[in-house]
Structure 1
Amino acid sequence: MTYWDPIPAVRAAEAGPLPAPDGGTWVPDPEHAVFWNPRPDRWSERDWRNVPGPFYGAGTDTCWMGRLIAPDNVLYDDDWGAEFVYRQPRNPEETLAVLGAAAQDPMVGYARDGDGHWTPELVRGWWGDRARVREWAAALDRKWSVSSRSGEREAAGGARAYVAHIDGDLAGYLRGYLFWLEEHRPARPGGALPVL
């Protein structure tokens, strides 16, 4: 799998507009957009469930807005409802969706500087502990899929998607990401990728 770098799409989106929870769009105030003014302490506060990659949630709000904009990428924890990135963006549309989710966060809890923090050893360590993340997501699905709250039932679908991602294409993505971290470029199609 070839790694797709979403950061150029972030730069292209700086002028907005970004997706909004109501299905429309809006232009965020650059003074408050975490992707242009990231807080330097976010990495140490990141949620352990974030998939390795450039984007992550750390101390986000609990308003449950992220999945309204980025359901293919964002999920909520079951402690406080904080948001984290369970699938890194795979194209410009998903990147815009993650940006839109992040821009809704009044706690400025999202960041895009993961490439500067993840190392091959940390990525392999996360992958080695994936059973913990998978079990958490499977338990969340079991719990929320029968909830009386419609938001929890919807988020259960995200938990199922996370389990499917772990069981499916996540290993290929992470191998491509390891190559990106080591070589600072995507692998050529059919090229050898590092092992997890």
Structure 2
Amino acid sequence: MTYWDPMPSARVLEDGPLPDPDGGTWLPDPAYGGLWNPRPDRWAQRDWRNVPGPFYGAGTDSCWMGRLIAPANVLYEDDWHGEVVYRQPRNPAETRAVLGAAAQDPVAGYACDGDNHWTPELVRAWWQERGRVREWAVALDRKWSGWEREQEREAAGGARAYVAHIDGELGEYLRGYLFRLAEGRPPERGETVPSL
């Protein structure tokens, strides 16, 4: 998979309607501020398990709602019941889903300013340490797969998806993201992308 920039779609979709956990849609409250609410502390508080890219969770308190809306992108962490972005959106539908998951967070802990903070050096450092994230996701899968409640078993599937993403297309995606950070645009077909 090559890099797809979700931010143009996010700016179009942010005012809704956004998906909600019950399968319906709703219009976000403009007073909420959401992803665009300037909170400089969010980047410093981002969870280490977020994959590099524009979207990330930082001190979220989701009550396990995000995977009901964005299972292809969001994973629950197991220590504070928060959420992390394990796969950046790959199309407008996933972007809309991530925005919906973010809008459900009562403490507004999601952000979409990662492009302003990630550098090629930070992305490469995250990639070099990906084994730590992978080990956590494998352990989380083991922990939740055997639980009786459906919520934990479903969440274990998210952990497995994260491991598959790390082992599969994530490296190619991050090479495209490095290009985006350096050039200010996604790579076009046939362009050489940086190495990790």
- Give yes or no for TM over 0.5: yes
SS in 2 for 1:75: strand
Is the 1:57–1:84 Cα contact (8 Å) retained in structure 2?
Answer: yes
Structure 1 runs not aligned, ≥5 long: none
Task: Give the counterpart letter for 1:48 in structure 2.
Answer: W
What is the rounded CA distance, in whole Å, between the counterparts of 2:84 and 2:112 in structure 1? Answer: 12
What is the rounded CA distance, in whole Å, between the counterparts of 1:95 and 1:38 in structure 2? Answer: 20
Moved over 6 A (4+): none
Is the 1:30–1:36 Cα contact (8 Å) retained in structure 2?
Answer: no
Which segment drifts farther, 182-191 or 122-131?
182-191
Q: List aligned pairs for 1:177-188, cutoff 5 A.
A: 177-188=177-188
Is the 1:19–1:26 Cα contact (8 Å) retained in structure 2?
Answer: yes
After TM superposition, the score normalised by the length of structure 2 is 0.97
- The structural deviation recorded for 1:14 is 2.9
After TM superposition, the score normalised by the length of structure 1 is 0.97
What is the rounded CA distance, in whole Å, between the counterparts of 2:33 and 2:74 in structure 1? Answer: 17
Task: Give the counterpart letter for 1:38 in structure 2.
Answer: P
What is the rounded CA distance, in whole Å, between the counterparts of 2:82 and 2:37 in structure 1? Answer: 20
Partner of 2:66: 66
Which segment drifts farther, 64-73 or 38-47?
38-47
The CA RMSD measured in Å over matched residues stands at: 0.9
Task: Give the counterpart letter for 2:83 in structure 1.
Answer: E
Q: Per the alignment, do residues 46 and 60 of structure 1 end up closer, same or farther by CA in structure 2, a change over 3 Å counting?
A: same
Task: Give the counterpart letter for 2:93 in structure 1.
Answer: E
What is the rounded CA distance, in whole Å, between the counterparts of 2:33 and 2:75 in structure 1? Answer: 20
SS in 2 for 1:42: helix
- The structural deviation recorded for 1:31 is 1.6
What is the rounded CA distance, in whole Å, between the counterparts of 1:148 and 1:14 in structure 2? Answer: 36
1:50-70, Cα deviation, whole Å (9 max, x unpaired): 000000000001400000000
Q: List aligned pairs for 1:7-86, cutoff 5 A.
A: 7-86=7-86
- The structural deviation recorded for 1:170 is 0.1
- The structural deviation recorded for 1:40 is 1.8
Which segment drifts farther, 34-43 or 86-95?
34-43
Identity of aligned residues (%): 74
Structure 2 runs not aligned, ≥5 long: none
Partner of 1:140: 140
Whether 1:126 and 2:126 are equivalent positions in the alignment is yes
